Each structure stands twice: as C-alpha cells, then as structure tokens.
C-alpha cells in the first residue's frame, strides 16, 4: 500500500470518499469523507471485508445484487478497473440505500500480484432523488396523457405530428402510425369552419401557435374523420419553447360533435315547427325584425303574407289528424318551393302559414306587383290536388282539394313594427275569406285571383 504521509494527506482532504481494500477485500484505509458519507467510524470500518454480511448493495433499479457483483469483487474477478457505476449502499444501521457513483481500480506489485483495490465514490443521493421525482412525474404525466378523455397531439417545429394519445386516435379515427409524420396542412384532413368554409391548413390553431409563439384557445373546427363523417372539435394549441425558440406545439382538443347535435336539436325545437320543420313564431319575429332593418338601410320594401287553408277541417273530421298532419307537411313543402331562398316560410299555428318577402323594390306599386306574383304562384300551387296516404299504408290514397286565402301587407320602414305588419296581413287574409276564399287580398284592395275556382275551393273551412 502507498502509505506515504503526503499521499495519505491528499486522500484525507479529498471531497470524494476513498476506501482502500487489500487483495482479500479487507479495508486498509478509509478517508474522512468516506467516514462522513457512510456514517460509520474508522474503527467500525478498518479490517472489515467488502462482503461483510452487515453490508449489501443494490443496483440502479434498487434490486439487491449478489456479493460477487460488489465493486471490489468485480475488480478482483475481472482484474480490470470498474468504471463509474451507480450503486446503492445499505450500510449497517441503515434501512434505505445511500446512492453513490463508484469507480474502482486494482494496484499490482512488481511481480504482478494484486496488492490492493482503490475505491472512490461520490454521493449522488440528491441526484437520484431528483431522478426518481422526475421519473414519477413522467409516469404521472404519461398516465394522464394515456387516460385523459381529451385528444392530445404533439407536433415538431415543422408541424409534423410526433405523438398522439389514445383519445386523439379515437376522435380522429386514425392510429398513431397513421398520424405520425402528418401535418395540419395535409389536405386530406378536409377541415371546415363553423360556417362551412374550408379551414386552410396554415390557419389551423397548431400552425398559428407555431408561427406566432402565442397560444390559440377555443377554436372550433370540423374534421372529416374516416368512417365517421364530420367530427367537430374545440382546439387549444400552445407552443413549446427550447432556449427561447419555438420547438414544437401541443394541441388539446375535445370532441363536441354530440354536444353540437344536441344544441342544434334544442335550437330546432325552440325555433322550428316540429311537424313541418318550418320556422315558428319566435324565429319569424326575428326574421321580420331583420327584414325591417334591411329595409331601413337599403330603402327596398318588403311584404308579408298570411295564408289560411280553406278546406282543412274536413280532412281532420273525415280521416283523422294523422292525414291532416300529412296535408300540412305537403302544404309546407309546396310553399318552400314557391319562394326565393332569401324568403321565409313559417307556420303560424294550426293551418295558418306566413310568408315573408324581404327586399322587393323601392317603389311601392312595383313591390305590390312582385308580392302579388309570388302570392298567385303560391295560391295556384296550394290549389292543386293533394294525395294523402294512410299511415299504415293500407287502403287507397285519398285525393283532397284544399285552397288558401292569402292576405298581404307591405313594410313601412319608417314606422312599422312586426306586430303591426302581421295585423294588417291578417286583416287582409280575412278580407280574402269574406270575398269568397281561394283569393289574394293585398292591403285595402281585394284582388280576385281565380275567376273559376277549383271544386271545393268555396267549401266551408
């Protein structure tokens, strides 16, 4: 053993633990730092063997190792230095390991006989604890990543997908292999906005976050998922930074397809007639207000017509309400086909319908003429025979004749309100009924639109 005072003085001052073993593994020397780290006195250490049963070692994963794999044992057996290796040392009196980074090397006599083994070690318990904390954190994160119901997708700085959790794969109907390497700008996504417009790839939330370095929140988009049709998602995208530069982006998204369908169902129930799917009174009032606002802005007049069927009650009395409902559905379909896309056909209740014609002309006479043209088209369409089929499809179809009395009124943008327009049109409709039905009455003038009405046109309602 090299036991010069100068040599030992250097070892005594090292901040690294040093233990020197004889060839038979007995401890010949231990420096102060080793004593401090191991928590044992010099007297407790000197003369002890490396494979003393009071000691044991564990590997980096915490598994107990056999004595022939202890650092000193490996050097003796393999006769080569041991590079830095992580061990846990459970010294006498301790229940948990102290983690150290150990290296050991053999020293030989001139004749080649093993003289001693010098072992030095550093305390890495704090580093190991940090590593374990990080590992636990990564495990918790990975567990969350794998089990959360929201889709999570990671993309690199070029926008290519590097990872996607199971929820993302389920929502997008694509496997991880199918997703990896794809970009938000891939045209096969066929993404759309809420208004139906195409969602350009470079405008996707992830690409905007990558380009700007700013998070994008609450973006709603529809994606054509394979085998599922249009899937609606709400997306939040946040950039990732490395050394102050954007290194990637992660997107968290929620499948809101069913939620949107439910909201649409509620909206339909609130604003549309369940039997005919036409706008109801609530939506009609909103459309009238919009039409008046446009009328005031552009100076173009509009018209509103109230229609009441002239021969509806007999079908209910003779064949029941199911065929009556079928008749109302056919009337609604004919009305929708008789007007422009910009016009509104609404069911006002019972067998009464309303037609709203916005933006006709700036001249009142011309507007009346245009409205009368539409009214005559509607009157002729509704007067054509109806073919009604029993609900159980048993028995022959029933042919029914049913005309309509139509009353109309122009908008007055300077003073009109929806209720006033409806009242004038309703009064005109009753004037058409008083004058023989199957007619159109517009304002104060009653116009006979059918000189020879169809059979049943004048039948009592």
Task: For residue 429, give the CATH number of its domain.
Answer: 3.30.70.270
Structure tokens, 390: 């029993």
Q: Considering the domain boundaries, does residue 265 fall inside one?
A: no
| pLDDT 10s digits, 300-339 | 899 999 999 998 888 777 777 788 899 999 999 999 999 9
* Mean per-residue pLDDT, 1-20: 77
* Mean per-residue pLDDT, 11-37: 88
Do 227 and 291 lie in a common domain?
no
Q: Considering the domain boundaries, does residue 305 fall inside one?
A: yes
Give the pLDDT of residue 51.
74
Q: Tell whether the model's pLDDT for residue 363 goes beyond 50.
A: yes
| pLDDT 10s digits, 215-225 | 999 999 988 87
Do 157 and 111 lie in a common domain?
no
The dihedrals phi and psi of 307, each to the nearest 5 degrees, come to -120, 135
Q: How far is CA 407 from CA 225, 303, 402, in A?
A: 49, 10, 17
Q: Tell whether the model's pLDDT for residue 448 goes beyond 50.
A: no
Q: Tell whether the model's pLDDT for residue 449 goes beyond 50.
A: no
Do 358 and 429 lie in a common domain?
yes
| pLDDT 10s digits, 245-286 | 999 999 999 999 888 888 888 887 888 998 999 999 999 999
Q: Considering the domain boundaries, does residue 240 fall inside one?
A: yes
Give residue 80's domain range: 5-128
Single residue among 260, 295, 310 that ends a domain in this structure: 260
Do 290 and 328 lie in a common domain?
yes
Q: Considering the domain boundaries, does residue 134 fall inside one?
A: no
The dihedrals phi and psi of 241, each to the nearest 5 degrees, come to -120, 145
Q: Considering the domain boundaries, does residue 234 fall inside one?
A: yes
| pLDDT 10s digits, 168-180 | 999 988 899 999 9
Q: Tell whether the model's pLDDT for residue 41 goes beyond 90.
A: no
Say how far apart CA 124 and CA 130 lie, in whole Å: 10
Q: Tell whether the model's pLDDT for residue 377 goes beyond 80.
A: yes
Do 37 and 81 lie in a common domain?
yes
Q: Tell whether the model's pLDDT for residue 35 goes beyond 60.
A: yes
Q: Considering the domain boundaries, does residue 136 fall inside one?
A: no
* Mean per-residue pLDDT, 343-364: 92
Give the pLDDT of residue 318.
73
Q: Tell whether the model's pLDDT for residue 460 goes beyond 90.
A: no
Give the pLDDT of residue 3.
60
pLDDT range class, residue 453, cuts 50, 70, 90: very low
Structure tokens, 113: 């006989």
What CATH number is attached to the domain comprising 98? 3.30.450.20
Do 194 and 113 lie in a common domain?
no
Do 77 and 167 lie in a common domain?
no
Structure tokens, 216: 């994008």
More confident residue, 320 or 34: 34
pTM (2 d.p.): 0.52
Which position has the token pair 């730092």?
Answer: 33
Do 75 and 110 lie in a common domain?
yes
Give the pLDDT of residue 458.
35
Q: Considering the domain boundaries, does residue 454 fall inside one?
A: no
Do 292 and 437 lie in a common domain?
yes
Do 158 and 291 lie in a common domain?
no
Q: Considering the domain boundaries, does residue 299 fall inside one?
A: yes
Do 161 and 247 lie in a common domain?
yes
| Per-residue exposure over 414-450, b if at least 16 CB sit within 10 Å of its own CB, e if not | eebebeebbebbbebbebbbeeebbbbbbbeebbebb
Q: Tell whether the model's pLDDT for residue 2 goes beyond 80.
A: no
- Please report, rounded to a whole number, the percentage of residues in the chain having pLDDT higher than 90: 41
CB atoms within 10 A of CB 271: 15
Do 85 and 192 lie in a common domain?
no
Q: Give the total number of structural domains in the chain.
A: 3
């Amino acid at each position: 053993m090299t036991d010069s005072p100068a040599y030992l003085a250097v070892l005594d001052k090292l901040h690294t633990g040093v233990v020197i073993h004889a060839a038979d593994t007995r401890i010949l020397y231990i420096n102060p730092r080793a004593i401090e780290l191991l928590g044992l006195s010099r007297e407790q250490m000197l003369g002890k063997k490396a494979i003393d049963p009071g000691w044991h070692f564990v590997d980096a994963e915490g598994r107990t190792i056999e004595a022939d794999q202890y650092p000193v044992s490996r050097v003796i057996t393999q006769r080569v230095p041991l590079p830095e290796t992580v061990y846990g040392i459970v010294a006498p009196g301790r229940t948990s390991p102290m983690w150290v980074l150990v290296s050991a090397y053999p020293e030989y006599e001139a004749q080649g006989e093993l003289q001693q083994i010098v072992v030095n070690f550093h305390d890495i318990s704090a580093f190991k604890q940090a590593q374990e904390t990080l590992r636990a954190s990564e495990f918790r994160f990975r567990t969350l990543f794998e089990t959360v119901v929201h889709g999570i997708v990671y993309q690199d700085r070029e926008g290519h997908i590097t990872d996607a959790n199971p929820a993302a794969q389920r929502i997008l109907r694509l496997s991880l292999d199918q997703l990896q390497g794809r970009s938000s700008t891939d045209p096969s996504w066929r993404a759309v906005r809420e208004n139906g417009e195409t969602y350009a790839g470079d405008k996707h939330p992830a690409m905007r976050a990558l380009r700007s370095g700013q998070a994008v929140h609450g973006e709603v988009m529809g994606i054509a998922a394979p085998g599922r049709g249009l899937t609606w998602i709400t997306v939040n995208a946040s950039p990732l930074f490395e050394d102050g530069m954007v290194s990637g982006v992660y997107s968290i998204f929620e499948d809101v397809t069913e939620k949107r369908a439910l909201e649409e169902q509620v909206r339909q129930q609130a604003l549309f007639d369940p039997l005919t799917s036409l706008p109801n009174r609530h939506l009609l009032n909103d459309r009238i207000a919009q039409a008046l606002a446009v009328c005031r802005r552009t100076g173009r007049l509009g018209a509103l017509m109230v229609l009441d069927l002239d021969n509806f009650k007999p079908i209910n009395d003779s064949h029941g309400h199911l065929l009556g409902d079928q008749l109302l559905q056919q009337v609604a379909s004919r009305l929708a086909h008789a007007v422009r896309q910009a016009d509104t056909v609404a069911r006002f209740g019972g067998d009464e319908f309303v037609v709203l014609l916005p933006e006709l002309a700036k001249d009142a006479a011309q507007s009346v003429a245009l409205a009368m043209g539409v009214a005559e088209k509607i009157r002729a369409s509704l007067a054509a025979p109806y073919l009604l089929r029993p609900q159980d499809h048993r028995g022959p179809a029933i042919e029914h004749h049913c005309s309509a009395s139509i009353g109309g009124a122009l908008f007055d943008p300077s003073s009109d309100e929806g209720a006033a327009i409806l009242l004038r049109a309703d009064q005109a409709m009753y004037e058409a009924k008083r004058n023989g039905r199957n007619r159109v009455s517009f304002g104060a003038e009653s116009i006979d639109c059918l000189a020879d009405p169809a059979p049943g046109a004048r039948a009592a309602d």
